[in-house]
Amino acid sequence: MLGIQSELVRRAAVVAYEAEMNALIHAGGGTIRMTVASDHLEIRSCDRGPGIPDVSLAMQEGFSTASDEIRELGFGAGMGLPNIKRNSDEMDIETEVGVGTVLTATIKFQEQ
């Protein structure tokens, strides 16, 4: 058992879920890796999708480029990236249109 606080587990679950759904919906898949260090955990999502043309716009709550089909399934509400940012202590997006996206989110452990 890692002894990680339950709130940090919840935050990591939200970040991982939102990152995985973004990769699946927008890129058709990708990879997600979680690394646990002594003072933080890092979630890194990599895909070879279309990339994000305007990261600032994509960070706005409610903005989505999801298809109608995805929205009819109850996804694509435009909350993925804002939820990742809200639940991580650090977030970085490297993206290139036509190449793909690498999203890195860090959650720092708090002193107990």
Give the pLDDT score at 110.
79
List pLDDT tens digits, range 6-62. Answer: 899 999 999 999 999 999 999 999 999 999 999 999 999 999 999 999 999 999 999
Tell me the C-alpha distance between 19 and 39, whole Å: 22
- Does the CA dihedral 7-13-16-21 come out positive or negative? negative
Report which residue type is found at 58.
A
Q: H helices of the chain, where?
A: 6-27, 55-58, 68-72, 80-87
- CB-facing half-sphere around the CA of 56: CA atoms within 13 A: 0
Report which residue type is found at 5.
Q
**Model-level pTM?**
0.91
pLDDT at 72 over 90: yes
Identify the residue with better confidence: 64 or 4: 64
Residue pointed to by tokens 């089909």: 69
- Does the CA dihedral 82-84-89-91 come out positive or negative? negative
CB 62 within 8 A of CB 83: no
pLDDT at 3 over 70: no
Non-local (6+) Cβ contacts of 100 within 8 A are 27, 30, 46, 47, 48, 49, 51
Residue pointed to by tokens 């452990």: 109
**Average pLDDT over every residue of 75-89:** 97
pLDDT at 112 over 90: no
What are the residue boundaries of the structural domains of the chain, listed by start? 6-108
Multiple choice CATH, 6-108, 3.40.50.11540, 3.40.50.720, 3.30.565.10, 3.40.50.2000: 3.30.565.10
Least confident of 1-5, 16-20, 51-55, 72-76: 1-5
